[in-house]
């Protein structure tokens, strides 16, 4: 059986279990690109992400002895929810190991979707520690480990999204765009499309701070990223899979990266304009339409919105990152003389009429004559930054930009 055949078999296996999620034409993105942009809404899947597909496909293929031994996985949230539901549907005892950083909301959803079939274990402070605990449990009990991405059965399950897209669209799309973390989704959908519809352009979209598949392409195989930005948590994987990498390589997918700030801007646009709550990884594919991928007018483009498990407490950070990305918010260290009227002169002579101070905090009083303040300034348009900086340079004050990417900046955002 070819891998594409395994994907088709998984689609039959998932019938009646996974929701056939909507494929919706998006007016905002279509107008912005001149193309016909469709969203595959896996944020409306059971567990609010596509992860159920791979977990169920793997578990449904176990024999009686393996089912009796149970299943175990490590997860930061979405994969655990998918496995929990699969265990409940198949009558398999499951165990989900999560790190202590996993939000309570996701822990509660794992237990709710498991319906009493799943035990939740908080193990360590990181995903790697949770994964080690899950592996130890499997070695001790004989339980089947259910990988989030690096297993052909998981990959085939994720690939069923491609089957649905073609059935729903009724014609061959020109471009299919998919988020990339460990590579399971891209490997599954990409391999099936490459086999059945080789003219479709397949694009994998990675967060700029966690571009593990691009690193694997450059190195000729999976490598561990030396640094990892975990903001796009659903796609922040330090090392892509040994199984996923060759499948992605051989399906002819092209890879692009998107800055995390751009992802935040797209999350806000999805919410405010389209009424869609997307998690950061869910907004990756559509975020790439803003310049990262060349799209021709009139093309039919399908973007996978992979998940909607976004913690509401993160929105303050999302707004912050979006403002910085759009060039509307900047931070400065300003040396103020300790004399009456110094702040007033800064307001009158440096700030423009539409500039707004959104943060003002004395960092340290250096001496009796001078004192440093951290100042956050929000401007009304990107074009307003250059005039603001020129006024700062002309000022007698000593002013230093706290630039994105610097060590000091990471304490702010």
Which residues are marked as active site?
51, 306
Of the candidates 10, 40, 8, 13, the one whose C-alpha atom is nearest the C-alpha of residue 25 is 40
Of the candidates 249, 246, 227, 245, the one whose C-alpha atom is nearest the C-alpha of residue 236 is 227
Task: Report in angstroms the alpha-carbon separations of 19 from 22, 222, 275, 367.
Answer: 9, 32, 20, 65
Determine how many CB atoms are found less than 10 A away from the CB of residue 351.
Answer: 17
Of the candidates 46, 50, 49, 119, the one whose C-alpha atom is nearest the C-alpha of residue 85 is 46
- In the numeric block, the tokens 């989030």 are attached to 148
Phi, psi of 365 (to 5 degrees): -90, 110
122 strand-pairing partners: 98
Kindly give the residue spans of alpha helices, DSSP state H, lying in 2-92: 3-14, 27-33, 51-60, 64-69, 78-90
Report the length, in residues, of the chain. Answer: 413
Distance CA 70, CA 141 (A): 9
The sheet with strand 175-179 has its strands ordered as: 23-25, 36-41, 300-305, 175-179, 201-207, 254-258
335 strand-pairing partners: 372, 398
357 strand-pairing partners: 377
Sequential DSSP letters for 216-234: HHHHTS----SS---SSGG
């Amino acid at each position: 059986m070819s891998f594409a055949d395994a994907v088709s078999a998984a689609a039959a296996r998932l019938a009646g279990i996974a929701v056939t999620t909507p494929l919706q034409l998006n007016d905002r993105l279509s107008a912005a690109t001149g193309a016909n942009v469709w969203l595959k809404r896996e944020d409306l899947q059971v567990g609010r992400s596509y992860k159920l597909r791979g977990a169920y496909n793997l578990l449904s293929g176990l024999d009686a002895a393996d089912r009796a031994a149970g299943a175990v996985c490590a997860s930061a949230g979405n994969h655990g929810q998918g496995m929990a539901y699969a265990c409940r549907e198949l009558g398999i005892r499951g165990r989900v190991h999560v790190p202590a950083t996993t939000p309570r909301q996701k822990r509660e959803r794992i237990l709710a979707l498991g319906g009493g079939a799943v035990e939740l274990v908080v193990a360590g402070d990181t995903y790697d520690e949770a994964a080690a605990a899950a592996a130890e449990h499997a070695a001790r009990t004989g339980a089947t480990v259910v990988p989030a991405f690096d297993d052909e059965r998981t990959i085939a399950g994720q690939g069923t999204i491609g089957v649905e897209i073609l059935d729903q669209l009724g014609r061959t799309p020109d471009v299919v765009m998919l988020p990339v973390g460990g590579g399971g989704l891209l490997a599954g959908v990409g391999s099936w499309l490459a086999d059945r519809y080789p003219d479709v352009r397949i694009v994998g979209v990675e967060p700029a701070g966690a571009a593990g598949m691009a690193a694997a392409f450059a190195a000729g195989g999976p490598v561990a990223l030396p640094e990892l930005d975990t903001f796009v948590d659903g796609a922040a994987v330090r090392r892509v899979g040994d199984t996923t990498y060759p499948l992605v390589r051989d399906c002819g997918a092209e890879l692009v990266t998107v800055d995390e700030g751009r992802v935040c801007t797209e999350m806000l646009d999805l919410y405010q304009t389209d009424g869609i709550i997307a998690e950061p990884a869910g907004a990756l594919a559509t975020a790439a339409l803003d310049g990262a991928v060349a799209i021709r007018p009139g093309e039919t483009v399908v973007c996978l919105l992979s998940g909607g498990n976004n913690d509401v407490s993160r929105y303050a950070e999302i707004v912050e990152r979006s403002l910085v990305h759009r060039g509307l918010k900047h931070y400065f260290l300003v040396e103020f003389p300790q004399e009456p009227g110094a702040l007033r002169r800064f307001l009158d002579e440096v700030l423009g009429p539409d500039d707004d101070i959104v943060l003002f905090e004395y960092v340290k009083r250096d001496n009796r004559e001078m004192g440093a303040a951290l100042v956050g300034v929000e401007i009304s348009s990107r074009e307003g930054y250059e005039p603001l900086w020129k006024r700062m340079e002309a000022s007698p004050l000593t002013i230093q930009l706290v630039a994105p990417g610097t060590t000091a900046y990471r304490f702010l955002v």
